[in-house]
Structure 1
Amino acid sequence: MSYQVLARKWRPRTFHELVGQEHVQRALVNALDQGRLHHAYLFTGTRGVGKTTLARILAKCLNCTANGNDDSGVTSTPCGQCENCRSIDDGRFVDLLEVDAASRTKVEDTRELLDNVQYAPTQGRYKVYLIDEVHMLSTHSFNALLKTLEEPPPHVKFLLATTDPQKLPVTVLSRCLQFTLKNMPPERIVEHLSKVLEVEGVSFDESALWLLGKAADGSMRDAMSLTDQAIAFGQGQVRQGDVAAMLGTLDQRHVLTLLEALAEVDASRVLNEVASLAEQGPDFAGVLDDLLGVLHRLAVAQMVPGALDNGHGDREVLLTLASRFTAEDVQLYYQIGLQGRGDMDQAPEPRTALEMTLLRMLAFRPQGVPKPAQTPLPMTGDAVPEQTPESPAESTPAASQSAPASQEPASVVGAAAPDVMPHASPTPASAEGSQDKLSPTAPAGPDTPTSVETSPPRGGEKARPASELPPPWEALPEDIPNDPAAQSAASLQGVEAPAWQDDEEYASAAVSDAVDAGSPSSHVPEPEPEPSMASEPQEAVAPGTPASQSLDSPSSAVEEAADEVVKPSGRSETSSIAAETMPAPSHNEADARLNQAAWLGLFEQLGLGGLTRNLAAHCVVEQDDGDQLDLRLAPSQSAMNAEVHVKRIQQALADAGVDRKVRIEVGEIPETVETPRGQSERIATERHAVAVEALKADPHIQKLQSTFGARLVETSVEPRQNPDSA
């Protein structure tokens, strides 16, 4: 007997032998068991997924005569032993008419076929017309078929199969019960091939079956044919090396080696691996495609490990590799790879294009640390295990590179980012009732570290930290006003009183800090109040704007307070009011601790950028014990929480004079607590509102509105970024 190929030998003969089409199997079995049979079925799907096989199984179900009993009725489990079942399996059943529409496209062929529809079946219960590749019929053939397809005789069933249902007329589709067969995933193909080869007694490597499953591209018939070819190529065995050589595909291990070199940030190893690939003469565009596919799977592994497919039998390897990349590196490499794939046609050589793409990935990778830290999977806000901190030589360059890009000159007033003095900004509506007790230049609370200076310098001068201010018994330099209140404003500006603290108590402790910064003693006599300068005219303010919101920006309030050259009394109005209403200061040992107000004032000085800045901007201070700073992160931003960002924040704080170990935990943040991001958005919103009100009050705008019916588009209004430059 001649050899029968695997694709025909292992063709399913019942619904229960069918692989990978459970949705179609369930519908047909239920219809057969309940006797709810349609007169026309349409099976669609790619090649080799079982369209013709399903049609033949359905024909056996309609005509099976178990034990030779014609009255047994339609069944969903044909016996396969009766004469009708054997005839259908052998292709000699007279009442099953298989038509190849690709070779019989003329209308005359269709009419000849339909001339015999009216006659009763000869051998079986139903006369079944199986039209394969039905989309190849001509328009006239479809028109000739429509009437019979809509109302066939009761003993006739039409089974249509096609790989391109878009070419079928809508009139044909509406007359059929359509079933779309799915492509076979590699996992299902490998599982089926393993069973077939075990029964056939052929030894195989599972990795070789994965190569066959990928090459089959969703077709089980193609997988069986390729397996036949692999058995012949390997002399009765299916081995991974033989299959790779037969298919001419790139070994997946080369792609994983390239990714390992990228994870190690080893450019020399990357180039060596490309050189070894070049010896095999691969398709370099295909290499980059495979690399992009693995990067996509790494991103899935980082976010949702359970959703990672095992399409190449390397799921565990990818999970391990995914932990060696940060999420931003994977996304960046994927985007650079896509761009490099599009540029390959313009490159002088494909190998050059691949090498440049890989080197570009390393060149544009964020240079925070020499190698990525281990990333927890899945990437959530859970605490990351502590790792050995990098040496200063490793982490310092990152801070020095990111700081100039993110820091802005302190003299620029009113920027949308929170680079202004938070304590001078208008308070939320919930705190307006108590805000009038504090002057616009009230210094920060007792938890502010005196070594941190956030006061904006004037006229290009460099800000002086509080530690550099001379004691009061020595003569002050000319550039520092000889006034205790002015010194307090110059040395301890930087934080805004938290909304949850009592304003009077907080302001009292703030004045205590201001006095302590200028005198070694812990108790200084309270200066007597000076005459108020309330009679001096103030700047024009939009109608209805509170006094606390009348400044151009929070930072302008700070500059005006620091600039108020002390009149003959040597004291500004605001500082005298503060000194008049606040009790005598007292020293607090927690002055060096970092609280939320100090965090808001210190944020812009950290010089953070990119994802690290975004992560820190959504954090609030939960606790500072002097050794460890606990930050709370909003749950919506938990995906950004990675050890590499925590280390960058810790290093930036150390550079700013706050040496702490940083720990970030995910948790709900009360609405009353303001994050740096929320502060920035609030300031921008308030400045925009002030700008809109100023435009509405402008006489020229009012004249345009009254004369021409003009309308002010408020969304197009942008506050002036530097009012002093005008």
Structure 2
Amino acid sequence: MSYQVLARKWRPRTFHELVGQEHVQRALVNALDQGRLHHAYLFTGTRGVGKTTLARILAKCLNCTAGGPGDEAVTSQPCGECSNCQAIDDGRFVDLLEVDAASRTKVEDTRELLDNVQYAPTQGRYKVYLIDEVHMLSTSSFNALLKTLEEPPPHVKFLLATTDPQKLPPTVLSRCLQFTLKHMPPERIVGHLSMVLEAEGVSFEESALWLLGKAAEGSMRDAMSLTDQAIAFGQGEIRHADVAAMLGTLDHRHVLALIEALAEADAARLLSEVAALAEQGPDFAAVLDDVTGILHRLAIAQMVPDAVDNGHGDRDDLLALAARFTAEDIQLYYQIGVQGRGDMGHAPDLRTALEMTLLRMLAFRPQGVPKPAQTPLPMCGEGGSGSHGGSSTGGETAPASGASGGETPAEAQPSSQAPEPQAPSASSSTTEPEAEGTPEPEAEPAAPAAEAAPPATTPPWEDLPEEANADASPAEAVAAPAEDMAEIGMAAADEAPDAGPPLEPSDAPAALDDTQPAVEPDADPTPVADSAGQAAPEPAAGLADEPEPQPASAVEPEATPVADAAPADEEPASVEASGSRLTHEDWLARFDALGLSGLTRNLAAHCMVENDDGETLQLRLDPSQAAMQAEVHVERIREALAAAGFERRLEIADGELAAGSETPKQQADRLAAERHGEAVEALRADPHVKKLEQAFGAQLIEASVKPVTEPARR
């Protein structure tokens, strides 16, 4: 007996042998069991998904004689043993007329076919017309078929099959029950091929079947045909290397190796993998497409692990890789890959374009993170915001190359230029309760403008590169007093001596917080240096000129107590720097004086002090910012605290922040909102603005109001 190919040998003969297409199988089985039969069925779908097979099974169900001769004997489970079933399986049943519409497109052929519709079936219960590739019929043929297709004789059933239903006239579609057959997923193809090969006694490697399932592109018939070819190519066996060589496709493991090199941020390994690929002469554009396809699957694996497509049989490998990337890196790499694919036509050659695209992915990833973080899966919801868990200690050394710009905080901004908040003088006492989070005392009605306290510093919170903020001084971001906002178009008070009379000690408000140290009556109003040698901020506009900054060498790791560092006639520092515990209030007060910038400042601004035992300082990080945490940033914060007199081992852990407390970022946002509100109220109360509103019906656009953030300078 001649050899029968697997696609024909293993063709399903009943609905229960059908692989996939459960939605069509269910509808047809229920219709047959209930006797609700339509006169015309249309099966659509790509090649090799079972359109003709379904039509033949349906014809067998309509004409099986196992249940009896009447119409009520129609069954959804044909016996396969009666003469009608065997004749249909062998293709010699006279009442099953299979028509190839691709070869019989003329209207004369259709009319000849319809001339025999009126005659009763010869052998079976129904005369079944199976018209394959029905979309190939001409317009005249469709017009000739319409009337018969709508009202055929009771003994006739039309079964139509097509791969392109869009080409069918709407008049034909409206006369048929349409069933759309789905593509076969690779998982289902691999499972069916495994069953077939085990029954055939052919040894195989599962990875080779995944190559066949992917190459079949959703067609079970193509998969069976490729399996026949692979058996012949491998001399009776199916091996991964043989199938890859037969298909001429790229080994998927090489693409995974490229993704692993991206996960390790290893440029040398990337180039070596591309060189190994070049030996096989692949299509480098297709390689880049595969890389971006895997990045897309990694993004899904991070958000919804259960929804990962297992088309290559590498689902477990992808889940492991997804935990080695941050979500931001995957999105960045994908965008670069898509743009690099479009730029390939302008590159000198495709290999150069692939290498440059891969190197661009590493060049543009955030340089503040020297090694990719471990990302817990899934990342959706509050529990999956990319938190790292655990804590980072400041004792670990951060690589110098991992920091942007390669500078330490002391190099980026000397501590002598970063003034720390001091104890309240006579001119700044009114704002201390606000900085400490206590209720603000009532302002005196006749307080002069010179007594206005300088508001808290508002740093730029945007995620700018560290080089852009390296030279910025916190003193340059001091906001204007609230009283200055009421003066429309007027700048803040000038720092020159002629801006106003010097403030007398007797004019200082007496409403000081109990926790603040007292001010000596004969205290010098000029700023003093704290125990760490850092210059204090200017008390107010119109006082003494800005003191000269202290040299950086004045900063000592172990600062002496305040009582020994400052003379008796000077005011004590607000926070002791030696041997004291850093509270969250001290953290808020000293934050701007730490001299942090860039991503490091952004990370620290979302932290609050959780505990300080004198040896270890524990900071709690907002979970939404956990992805920014890295060893290099932790080390910079620790060095800045050490320069301020707090030599500690630093631990930063993300978690829920304490209720009622605010981070430096939240404090700055609140103060900025308050200044904006005061500026809006000052504008609304301005008589000139009122005249404009009354005379011209003008309206104040609050979003365009920007409060003065710096004092005017001459």
| TM-score bin, normalised by smaller chain | 0.7 to 0.9
Conserved 8 A contact 1:596-1:620: no
> In structure 2, what is the equivalent of residue 661 of structure 1?
650
Change (3 A) 1:89 1:223: same
- Counterpart CA distance in 1 for 2:606 and 2:265 is 30
Is 1:562 aligned to residue 562 of structure 2?
Answer: no
- Match in the other structure for 1:499: none
Q: Is the 8 A contact 1:650 1:660 kept in 2?
A: no
2 CA distance for matches of 1:588 and 1:357? Answer: 50
Q: Deviations over 1:422-473 (max 9, x none)?
A: x969979xx99756479974999xxxxxxxxx9943699xxxxxxxxxxxxx
Q: Which amino acid aligns with 1:209?
A: L
Deviation at 1:194, TM superposition (A): 0.6
Is the 1:621–1:632 contact (alpha carbons within 8 Å) kept by the matching residues of 2? no
Supply the distance in 2 between the matched residues of 1:608 and 1:459 (Cα, whole angstroms).
Answer: 13
Q: Structure 1 residue 53: deviation in Å? A: 1.1
Question: Which of 614, 631, 655 matches 1:647?
Answer: 631
Partner of 1:451: none
Change (3 A) 1:525 1:370: closer
Structure 2 SS opposite 1:311: coil
2:514 pairs with 1:508: yes
Task: Render the CA deviation track for 1:557-588: whole Å, top value 9, x for unaligned.
Answer: x9885325289xxxxxxxxxxxxxxxxx9999
The answer for the alignment partner of 1:598 in structure 2 is 587
- Return the letter of the residue paired with 2:153: P
| TM-score, structure 1 as length reference | 0.72
User: Deviation at 1:225?
Assistant: 0.8
Relative distance call for 1:115 and 1:668 in structure 2 (3 A) is farther
Match of residue 415 from structure 1: none
Which residue number corresponds to residue 338 of structure 2?
338
Paired position in structure 2 for 1:398: 403
Distance (whole Å) between structure 1 residues aligned to residue 505 and residue 106 of structure 2: 101
In 2, distance between residues paired with 1:390 and 1:120? 93
After TM superposition, the structure 1 = structure 2 runs for residues 49-448 of structure 1, keeping only pairs within 5 Å, are 49-66=49-66, 69-70=69-70, 73-379=73-379, 380=384, 384-385=389-390, 391-394=396-399, 398=403, 436=442, 441=453
Number of the residue aligned with 2:568: none
Corresponding residue SS for 2:80: coil
1:690-705 matches, cutoff 5 A: 690=678, 692-693=680-681
CA offsets, 1:144-188, max 9 Å, x none? 333333333333222222222222233332332222211111111
Question: Partners in 2 of 1:292 and 1:269 — Cα distance?
Answer: 18
State the AA in 2 paired with 1:394.
P
Q: Distance in 1 between matches of 2:112 and 2:589?
A: 86
1:598-649 Cα deviation digits (max 9, x unpaired): 3486279574646x77666555544444514241535xx3xx534x615344
Residue 570 (structure 2) aligns with: none
**8 Å contact from structure 1 (residues 41, 177) kept in 2:** yes
Q: Is the CA contact 2:398–2:635 (under 8 Å) kept in the aligned structure 1?
A: no
Distance in 1 (alpha carbons) for counterparts of 2:259 and 2:330: 10
- Cα deviation, 1:375-424, whole Å, max 9, x if unaligned, reads 333442566246787843516852655999999x999xxxxxxxxx9x96
Give the conservation status (yes or no) of the 8 Å contact 2:132–2:161.
Answer: yes
Look up the match of 1:467: none
1:646/1:664 contact within 8 Å kept: no
Superimposed CA distance per residue, residues 109-131 of structure 1 (whole angstroms, 9 cap, x where no aligned partner): 33333333333322222222222
CA contact (8 A) 2:129 2:156 kept: yes
Please show how residues 31-46 of structure 1 align to structure 2 within 5 Å. 31-46=31-46
- SS state at 1:161 partner: strand
Report Cα offsets for 1:196-255 as digits up to 9, x if no partner: 111111111111111111111111111111111111111111111110001111111211
Instruction: For 2:293 and 2:176, locate their aligned partners in 1 and report how far apart those are by CA, in whole Å.
Output: 38
Output the CA distance in 2 between the equivalents of 1:655 and 1:99. 84
The CA deviation at 1:61 is: 1.6
State the Cα distance separating 1:138 from its structure 2 match.
2.7
Query: How far off is 1:7 after superposition?
Result: 1.0
**Closer/same/farther in 2, CA of residues 65 and 350 from structure 1, 3 Å limit:** same
Q: Which residue of 2 aligns with 1:517?
A: none
Aligned residue for 1:631? 620
Q: How does 1:670-689 map to 2 (within 5 A)?
A: 670=659, 672-689=660-677
Which 5+ residue runs of structure 1 have no aligned equivalent?
Answer: 412-420, 445-453, 461-477, 490-503, 513-523, 531-557, 568-584
* Conservation of the 8 A alpha-carbon contact between 2:284 and 2:350: yes
Do the aligned partners of residues 483 and 174 (structure 1) sit closer, same or farther apart at CA in structure 2, a change above 3 Å counting? same
**Map of 2:475 onto structure 1:** 457
**Residues 186 and 214 in structure 1, CA contact (< 8 A), matched pair in contact too:** yes
For the structure 1 residues 641 and 632, does the alpha-carbon distance in structure 2 shift closer, same or farther, using more than 3 Å as the test?
Answer: closer
Native 8 Å contact 2:394 2:650 kept in 1 = no
Q: How much has 1:674 moved relative to structure 2?
A: 3.7
Q: Partners of 1:600 and 1:37 in 2: how far apart?
A: 82
Aligned equivalents of 2:595, 2:401: Cα separation in 1: 13
- 1:21 is the counterpart of 2:21: yes
CA 1:560–1:393 in structure 2 vs 1: closer, same or farther (change >3 Å)? closer
CA contact (8 A) 1:298 1:322 kept: yes
The answer as to whether partners of 2:591 and 2:664 remain within 8 angstroms in 1 is no
Specify whether residues 482 and 258 from structure 1 end up closer, same or farther in structure 2 by C-alpha distance, changes over 3 A only: farther
**CA contact 2:262–2:362 (8 Å) conserved in 1:** yes
Secondary structure (helix, strand or coil) at the match of 1:179 reads strand
Could you say what secondary structure the match of 1:235 adopts?
coil
Q: Tell me what 1:724 maps to.
A: 712
CA contact (8 A) 1:132 1:161 kept: yes
Cα gap change, 1:105 to 1:266, in 2 (>3 Å): same
Give the Å deviation of 1:191: 0.7
Change (3 A) 1:559 1:3: same
Q: Secondary structure at the match of 1:724?
A: coil
Aligned residues: CA RMSD = 4.5
In the TM superposition, residue 87 of structure 1 has moved relative to its aligned partner by 1.7
Letter in structure 2 aligned against 1:208: A
Deviation of residue 325 (structure 1)?
Answer: 2.8
Partners of 1:396 and 1:651 within 8 A in 2: no
Q: Which 10-residue stretch deviates more, 2-11 or 174-183?
A: 174-183
Q: How far, CA to CA, are the matches of 1:708 and 1:105 in structure 2? A: 78
Find the residue that maps to 1:57 and give its secondary structure.
helix
Range that drifts further, 243-252 or 134-143: 134-143
- 1:450 alignment partner in structure 2: none
Cα separation, 2, equivalents of 1:159 and 1:369? 63
Cα 1:665–1:586 change in 2 (3 A) is closer
The answer to whether the Cα contact below 8 Å between 1:403 and 1:607 also exists between their aligned partners in 2 is no
Structure 1 391/147 Cα, relative in aligned 2: closer, same or farther at 3 Å?
Answer: same
Hey, which of these two has a bigger chunk of helix by percent?
1
Report Cα offsets for 1:666-701 as digits up to 9, x if no partner: 33764x544455445445544554555566566776
TM-score of the two chains, using structure 2 as the length reference: 0.73
- How far the C-alpha of 1:342 sits from its partner, in A, is 0.9
Separation in 1 of the partners of 2:273 and 2:354? 11
Query: 1:456·1:559 contact (CA, 8 Å) conserved in 2?
Result: no
